[in-house]
Structure 1
Amino acid sequence: MELFFLVLLVVVMATALGSGFPVAFALPGAAIVTIAIASLTGYLFAGNVDAFFAQGGPSQWLSAGTTNLRGVYWEAQRDTLIAIPLFVFMGIMLQRSKIAEDLLVTMAKLFGPVPGGLGISVVFVGALLAATTGIVGATVVAMGLISLPAMMRNKYSVPLATGTIAASGTLGQIIPPSIVLIILADQLASAVDQAGTLRQNLYKAATGEISMPSDFSVVSTSAGEMFLGAFIPGLVLVGLYMLFILGFAFLKPSAAPAVHEPGTFNRKFMGKVLITLVPPLALIFLVLGSIIAGVATVNQAGAIGAVGAMVMAGYRLREGKRGAYTPAIIAILAILAIAVALSFHTINIKRIETSDDVVAIIVALIAVTLFLLALVWSGWRTLVFEDTLRGVMVETAKTSALVFIILMGAAMLTASFRGFGGEELVKEFLLGLPGGFWAQFIVVMLVIFILGFFLDFIEISVVVVPIVAPILLSDPSANVTAVWLGVMIGLNIQTSFLTPPFGFALFYLRGVAPAAVKTIDMYKGVIAFIALQLLALVIVGQYPSLVNYLPNRVSLLSETAPPPKNPKLQYCLENIVHDEYQTNGDGIMSAIKTASNLDISYLPKDLQKKLQSGYENAEKAIPLMDDIFTAEKAVEDAAVDYRPIHDEVRALERDARRIEAHIKDLEVIVSRSGPNGVYSEERGMKAKAKIEGLTKEHDALMAQIPDGWKDIHKTFSAVQNAENKARLTYRRTVDSAYEPIMEVRKILGGAEQLAGLETEIASLKDDIRNLEPEAAVKRIEDVRSMVSDVDGTSDIRKGLTDARKIMRSKSPEPDKAVAEVDKSLAALAEDLKWRKKGEAELLPGLNAYDEAIKYNIGLRSQPRLPKDMALDVAACLSPHRDISLNF
């Protein structure tokens, strides 16, 4: 019966959408109606409202949507969706202020002389508007009103002209900032948690280990990473559009002729190009650049975009009048003043120490005041001229409300889909497909593409993604990143705006196109661009680095970059360090030998032992790295014969586990059936019969596992464990090799600081005799803290600790405490002898040794990666690495 109600849910939803019922109410309405019918049917025929739910009951699934919405709004960690109204405001403001119109007209004149130039200008402006507005409907309407008549006048092919406008208008869905990317990031954040649990369970089932290595975990994504990941694929799509138009114009010049306007390219026109082009580009730089640089979160970048759009609208609405650019100029000067002040001082009103700090804060306050003045001035202009601000605010509220209502409704629909066992059916279907991850992925992409003929991007994002993403992300054979999957889905969803019968970009264009433009010509025109979008999908799927590289690069170069000891980085770091050993191994060994010959006889015995041990471990580093790659080659050789058997057995075990889960569900029905149970006795008997059939099927599957599988797996695991052991041995060895160097360098470098404390320690003797015991204890603690700041001072601190203990006792004895202070002074004097000698004779040699091994043997102990290595690691991490043999 659960299957019947699942089909009913889909039919009710499809009927509501097909009849024109608003999406925002069709999704939750379908869920509520179906759950109500299932509950009533269960009550009437089984005596229990929960009878026809796969798990849980109606109250659980009806409340799931509300719970999800509460999490979206009330959890500080999930504030990503706040950026949506900010970016919507930015886009509508730029649209209403006619800045988009200026871009189209100016770029059309600029590219006109090039064959297909008008089409290229539409694509170029579409890309710019995508990076500033992201509002498909407004972009298509604006370009349709302005560019389509010009292209028709200049004898452009009608299908080419309409297809170019419609396709270019959809670029806002993949070029950041994009609403669809924000929604996908939010949905994928939840999917990653589920995928991580699935992969953990898979690892436990395959290996028996409770904890999975962290470098095998599924990494989450954010809106900022989605923006970075989609940036290059968006440019690839723009490039494909432009190349297609150029090729079309070359093959058929009459369909896309060049447009020459005499006297266009003069000084006045070039000034117009700069004024029209630079502000939107600057806004794009501020919005995306602030995210890429890590200066601002997505929400803060959205606020930057909204403010920038208002300032731009302020001068555009007063264009041609006196003082039109005054607010914008004030805003620019204020921002420059703040930037200059920040470059020279850390502006913090709580840390004013010098007169220069006061001046910097005053400058910053003046600049902020001027910027606020410019913003209020621009806002006033948008309010009083053509009532622009009010219209923008109303449209922003409408669009944002629509998005959030759809999100809530989709959450309820998804919850009810799960309640009737739909998620398990989808999971079983996908996991049962031959061909592994790529077969599953292609089917999901095909389903999303087909759904794009009927549904909008929001419905697809919030209904389909939560169901299929955990399955795709958990697969260790592909080991895809969440950001890559999100961008691939985003590229696929983009086609939904062009695919008939419900291609929204086609509707928008049809509404503003002249009657001479036939709808069939519009459909013909978008076919080529749909094909280009699918081609872009194939390219990005084939080269995941196009998506993953930029987020990896920004992450590894940011102030919060993970340290080199991060488990996720080890595989790539060891490949890079191995290459370094191959090219510079002799130089590294020579540096180790030179350092080991330095005179350390005057150092304390413990430091001597640590240094000697460090040198010995350093000498082992290169041979141990060779052991890693020998072991890795052994795994690769063994995997040739092992992989087919492994894949076959794991597929059988996976199917068997699905059957086991089904049997457990049926056993629950059996245990709860009977006269006093939830389910009828008849249903219990059917469940028993089904359990018997499934048990036989399960046993038949397990019987197909090849003989000797356990021995084969044990043999390969031994080879694999040898590689893991080699890697762990190398990591421990290089850490042990470098840590003594860091310790001794810090100790010797603290000689001067320690010498400066001699007076402080000596003064304690008078303080102990003259101060009250409590005050004396506080004084001793202060000096002891100063000594603790210097590395390697445990012997010196011992006397101070004993002196404090004496003065804390019930009967303080100042003379004994002073005697302990004298011991600390004596220990300090002894320390300074070898420290100063080491600082003069040994430290230069250790510093030179450190420079030689810092970024190879000592790389794991550094606080962060150097830039060149960070870039190499980012490139190494970008392709997807198959880790399935570990499962």
Structure 2
Amino acid sequence: MELYFLALLIFLMAFALGSGYPVAFALPGAAIITIGAAAGAGYLFAGSTDAYFHSGGPQQWLSAGVTNLRGVYWEVERDTLIAIPLFIFMGIMLQRSKIAEDLLVTMAQLFGPVPGGLGISVVFVGALLAATTGIVGATVVAMGLISLPAMLRNNYSPSLATGTIAASGTLGQIIPPSIVLIILADQLASATDQAGTARKALYKEATGEISMPSTFSVASTSAGEMFLGAFVPGILLVLLYMAYILIFALLNPKSAPAVHSGGKFDRAFWGKVALTLIPPLTLIFLVLGSIITGVATVNQAGAIGAAGALIMAGYRLAEGKGRLTYAPALMALAALGMLAFVLSNYEMNLKSANSAEDWTGIYLGVFAATVLIVSLIWSGLRVLKIENTMHGVMLETAKTTSLVFIILLGAAMLTAAFRAFGGEELVREFLNALPGGFWTQFIIVMAVIFVLGFFLDFIEIAVVVVPIVAPILLADPGANITAVWLGVMIGLNIQTSFLTPPFGFALFYLRGVAPATVKTVQMYKGVIAFISLQLLALGIVGAYPPLVNYLPNRVSFLSETAPPPKNPKLQYCIEEYTGKQIAQGARPGEAIATAKALNLSVLPKDLQKDLSESFDSADQALLDLQAAFDAENVVNTAADDYRPLQRLVRDLEKDMRKLNEEAEELRTRFERMRSEGEAEERAELEAEREVMLAEVEALKAQIPANWEEDHKRFAELTNAEQKARVTYRRNADSSWEAPAEILGVLQANEAFAGLEQELRDMRGYIEGVAENDEAAEATVEALEGKFGEVAGAGDVKSALSKARRALRVSRFDREKALESYDDAVAEYEAQKAWRAEAESLMPGLQAYLDGIRGTLGIRSQERLDREQALYMASCSAVHRDISLNF
């Protein structure tokens, strides 16, 4: 029965949207009405308000909707949504201050002499505006008002002109910073948690293991990673647009002629180009660069963008109205330069400031911050006074932000209702039942999103559809896609749907400002080529995931917070890198052989043993690495025959699992039927359950007889590969640890020798200290601490520690203290002797460590070097199939 109410929910939503009812009220309204109708029908016809819900009751799902509403703004983890109003303010400020218009006019003059130059300039400016606004409607309207008349006046084809403007306006959906990407990141963050849980359950069912290795987990994403991931696809799309316009103009010169403005490309013109182009590019660099480099979070970058737009608007609106036009902007630049200087040269933490130099830096920083604040206030007052621009910008920002968040809240209610009637489970079952695995599911989902884009805004799609389908797609171990790749693909798809006739939003926006001479059919024709280009870009990004994954990985691995080399997720790529380095000429074997020839007799026996074992481990690690590669090749060869069998059995098991779940639901239902009037229905349900169980047995009979044996044999192969890799990692770590530790001990010889006199003076102190001297223990403890800082001096430190405890006032024992002190001196003398002789080993040990650092020793480093980090970024950017482990 719940399916009828699910259909009612969808009908009500579609009817409300189709009748022009505001989206912000259509979504929650449909949810509340449907939940109320189901509760009322259940009370009237079944005696329970919970009867027609998939699970729970109306109170639960209404409260779930309210919980979802709170989750949009209440959870700390979702604070990236704060960036939305900041980026909206930035975009509207740049448009209202006519900076966007200046860009279009100047770029049109610059590109005009090129065939199709006006169209190329529109794409270029569209990309710049996309990187500063992310608002499709505002961008399309602005470019439609400014560029379309100029293009038509210069005999451009109406189809090409309108198609170029509409397509360029939608770039704000994918080029960061984009509101779409922020919302998608927010939704995917929770979707990855669900996907991770589903994958763990799948692993447990397939292998019987309680815990799943972390290397198979689903990684989450963030708005910053989404921005980085979308950057290259966005540039790819811009280049495709420009290439198409240029080729079209060369083939049809009359439809996209070159335009000569008549002006000269002199110093004044280039100065105008610089003044028009450099500030927006600088703002884009500050916003995106601060995110990419990790200097600022997405929220902080939004604040940077809003402040920058305000300063730019301040001098643009004041042009020709006074001599101090650029004063606020110059003040801001000077203040930023001073802040950068003091941050890089002074300690700016108030709590740790303890010198005159530190306070000088703080005073300079306060002064620079004050100058920056003054420049912002000055610019703000200008924008407020001139044409009351600030009022209009704030009003539009408030309207747009309210629209976004109200739709978010309404979509949260709709999602709760959709789940209340089993919609989420229905979608999951439908997708899981599709033949062809992940890619069939993915294509169906993308097709649905594409069609929904005709009717719904990107916010509704992101908030309603993504939470339902994303966990299913992310959980698939065969594709093993990343959340950032899925988010960018959805973003590209949503952008495509903005152009598609007859419902594309960009077409509606452009139709509203286009002259009557431009026919709607011409607009539809114009966008077809750009839709094809967007689909081509979607296909390219889908076929080559590194276009999305590489840049976020690169930034992550090169950052100060990069994962350490021992991170489990990096091990496969580290071993691939090590094997490649050895194949390309790295010779760790030579370093090992040279190290084995060192005279270790000068060392204590325990250290001799440790070093010898490390060198043997290094030799063994090279053999283990090759064994791991050989085992991998065996697995890959066997997988060709095993994979079809595994897929067949897993599909059968999936069908069996679904039938068992349905049978369990039926059992629960008929066990609750205890009255005589329900006896007939109970018997029908029992019979239906028996049929399902029979189907389960029939499916079980279809599992090939050789499955258990083949599965066990293949599992032995994968276990052998994993064992070889684990053995390699253990020996590789062992090959580094002891030599590095002993070299560190020898490098500390000077510090060790520097404590000799202080150690010898300690005897006289102990002999003369008074029994009730509370400072005695602290005095010995200070020397103890100094030895503790010297590598390898732990035995001396331990003996001093015993002497210190013997000098404690509560149990003072001078004789015992002197005895422990003598032990410390004896240990010191012994170490002093062998340390001096062992110094000759230092060059050999250093050469050994240098020889294996880039191969066997990678895991033991504190962080990856640049070459290794770039390789890890490239290797991790590829989606690796892990389904054979499930």
Deviation (angstroms), 1:58: 1.2
What's the counterpart of residue 361 of structure 1? Answer: 362
Counterpart residue number, 2:878? 879
Mapped to 2, the partners of 1:829 and 1:74 lie a distance apart of 65
For residues 839-858 of structure 1, the aligned pairs below 5 Å read: 840-858=839-857
Which deviations, in whole Å up to 9, do the C-alpha atoms of 1:696-748 show, x marking residues without a partner?
A: 22111111111111001111111111111111110111011111112112212
Partner of 2:485: 484
Equivalent residue number for residue 547 of structure 1? 548
1:489-532: CA deviations, max 9, x gaps?
00001123222333221121111111111122112211221121
The letter for the 1-side match of 2:715 is S
CA distance in 1, matches of 2:678, 2:56: 18
**C-alpha separation between the residues in 2 aligned to 1:316 and 1:568?**
50
Shift in Å, 1:685: 4.0
Q: Deviations over 1:807-831 (max 9, x none)?
A: 3474312343233223213322322
Write out aligned runs for 1:98-109 (5 A): 98-109=98-109
- Secondary structure at 1:453's aligned position in 2? helix
Moved more, 9-18 or 65-74: 65-74
What is the CA-CA distance between 1:284 and the residue it aligns to? 0.6
Partner of 1:819: 819
1:751 is aligned to 2:749: yes
Give 1:588 shift: 1.8
Distance in 2 between the 1:536 and 1:146 partners? 28
CA 1:683–1:871: 2 relative to 1, 3 Å: farther
Give me the whole-angstrom Cα distance separating, in 2, the residues matched to 1:71 and 1:757: 60
Per-residue CA distance 1:258-289 (angstroms, 9 max, x = gap): 10122332211111100000000001100111
Contact 2:119 2:161 in 1 (8 A): yes
- Secondary structure in 1 aligned to 2:211? coil
Measure, in 2, the Cα distance between the counterparts of 1:773 and 1:63.
69
Aligned counterpart, 1:45? 45
Give me the whole-angstrom Cα distance separating, in 1, the residues matched to 2:28 and 2:760.
78
TM-score, normalization by structure 2: 0.97
Contact 1:158–1:521 under 8 Å retained in 2: yes
Query: Paired residues, what number?
Result: 883
Preserved contact between residue 457 and residue 496 of structure 1 (Cα < 8 Å):
no
The answer for the alignment partner of 1:864 in structure 2 is 863
Tell me what 1:464 maps to: 465
Q: Which residue does the alignment assign to 2:599? A: 599
* Residues 785 and 797 in structure 2, CA contact (< 8 A), matched pair in contact too: no
1:539 positional shift: 0.8
* 1:328-356 CA-partner distances (Å, limit 9, x unpaired): 01111111122222333343233335443
Q: How does 1:438-587 map to 2 (within 5 A)?
A: 438-584=439-585, 587=587
Deviations 1:89-125 (A, max 9, x none): 1111111111101000100111111111111100000
Checking the alignment, whether the CA contact within 8 Å between 2:42 and 2:49 is kept in structure 1 is yes
SS at match of 2:66: helix
1:125 aligns with 2:128: no
Write the distance in 2 (CA, Å) between the matches of 1:608 and 1:153: 87
Kindly provide the amino acid, as one letter, of the partner of residue 57 in structure 2: G
Change (3 A) 1:700 1:580: same
| Greater displacement, 623-632 / 391-400 | 391-400
- In structure 1, the partner of 2:229 is 229
Give TM-score scaled by structure 1 length.
0.97
Partners of 1:566 and 1:15 in 2: how far apart? 52
Q: Which moved more, 1:339-348 or 1:194-203?
A: 339-348
**SS of 2:585 mapped into structure 1:** helix
- The residue number in structure 2 matching 1:636 is 636
Q: Secondary structure at the match of 1:218?
A: coil
**What letter is aligned with 2:674?**
G
CA distance in 1, matches of 2:293, 2:357: 28
Match of 1:688 among 663, 686, 689: 686
Moved more, 515-524 or 479-488: 515-524
CA distance in 2, matches of 1:682, 1:69: 44
Letter in 1 for 2:746: L
Q: What pairs with 1:145-544 in structure 2 (closer than 5 Å)? A: 145-320=145-320, 321-544=322-545
1:43 positional shift? 1.2
User: After alignment, is 343-352 or 123-132 more displaced?
Assistant: 343-352
Q: Deviations over 1:41-90 (max 9, x none)?
A: 11111111111111121112111222123233232222111111111111
Q: Gaps (5+ residues) in structure 2?
A: none
Classify the secondary structure of the residue corresponding to 2:387.
coil
1:689-704 map, 5 Å: 689-704=687-702
8 Å CA contact 1:91, 1:134 repeated in 2: yes
For structure 1, which segment, 383-392 or 420-429, has the greater mean C-alpha deviation from structure 2 after superposition?
Answer: 383-392
2 CA distance for matches of 1:56 and 1:702?
33
Moved more, 767-776 or 129-138: 767-776
Q: Which one is further off, 363-372 or 82-91?
A: 363-372
1:37 counterpart SS class: helix
Residues 728, 319 of structure 1: alpha-carbon distance in 2 compared, 3 angstrom cutoff: same
Q: Which residue, 688, 705, 714 being the options, matches 1:707?
A: 705
Give the AA of the match of 1:98.
Answer: K
Asked if structure 2 preserves the Cα contact closer than 8 Å seen for 1:219 and 1:481, the reply is yes
In structure 2, how many angstroms separate the alpha carbons of the residues matched to 1:687 and 1:804? 81
1:804 to partner: Cα distance: 2.8
Q: For the Cα contact (< 8 Å) 2:502–2:524, is it kept in 1?
A: no
Counterpart CA distance in 2 for 1:401 and 1:14 is: 22
**How far, CA to CA, are the matches of 2:319 and 2:610 in structure 1?**
74
C-alpha separation between the residues in 2 aligned to 1:592 and 1:286? 49
In 1: Cα distance, 2:155 partner to 2:2 partner: 59
Cα distance in structure 2, aligned partners of 1:459 and 1:680: 43
Q: What do residues 438-463 of structure 1 show as CA deviations (whole Å, max 9, x unaligned)? A: 00000000000111111111111111
Q: Aligned equivalents of 1:224 and 1:289: distance in 2?
A: 11
Instruction: Please give the per-residue CA displacement for 1:12-60, whole angstroms capped at 9, x wherever unaligned.
Output: 1111111111111111111111111111111111111111111121112
Q: Deviations over 1:297-321 (max 9, x none)?
A: 1111111111111111111110123
User: Is the Cα contact below 8 Å between 1:540 and 1:547 reproduced in 2?
Assistant: yes
Q: Which deviates more from structure 2 when the two are superposed, residues 241-250 or residues 756-765?
A: 756-765
The separation in 2 between residues aligned to 1:866 and 1:248, in whole angstroms, is 47
- Would you say the 8 A contact 2:53–2:421 is kept in 1? yes
- 1:812-864 CA-to-partner distances (Å, cap 9, x unmatched) read 123432332232133223222222333x3112221121111111111101111
Tell whether the 8 Å contact from 1:46 to 1:680 is kept in structure 2 after alignment: no
Q: 772-781 or 616-625, which moves further after superposition?
A: 772-781
Q: Name the CA distance, whole Å, in 2 between partners of 1:685 and 1:6.
A: 28
In 1, the alpha carbon distance for the partners of 2:342 and 2:30 equals 58
Amino acid at match of 1:719: L
What is the SS of the residue equivalent to 2:350? coil
Contact residue 764 and residue 779 of structure 1 kept, 8 A: no
Residue 350 of structure 1: SS of its match in structure 2?
helix
Whether the aligned pair in 1 keeps the contact of 2:42 and 2:51 (CA below 8 Å) is: yes
How far the C-alpha of 1:209 sits from its partner, in A, is: 0.8
Per the alignment, do residues 278 and 495 of structure 1 end up closer, same or farther by CA in structure 2, a change over 3 Å counting? same
Larger mean CA deviation between 251-260 and 336-345 belongs to 336-345
Contact persistence 1:455–1:502 (CA under 8 A): no
- Point out the more displaced range, 126-135 or 346-355: 346-355
Name the % identity.
63
Aligned mates of 2:155, 2:753 — CA distance in 1 = 87
Q: 1:689 to 1:750 in 2, by over 3 A?
A: same
Query: Matched residues in 1 for 2:794 and 2:883: separation?
Result: 50
| SS of 2:130 mapped into structure 1 | helix
Change (3 A) 1:696 1:358: same
Q: Which runs of 5+ in 1 are unaligned?
A: none
> 1:724 maps to what in 2?
722
Which range is displaced more, 14-23 or 335-344? 335-344
Amino acid at match of 2:462: S
Amino acid at match of 2:458: F
State whether residues 456 and 496 of structure 1, in contact with CA within 8 Å, keep that contact through their aligned partners in structure 2.
no
Name the CA distance, whole Å, in 1 between partners of 2:526 and 2:406: 34
Amino acid at match of 1:841: S
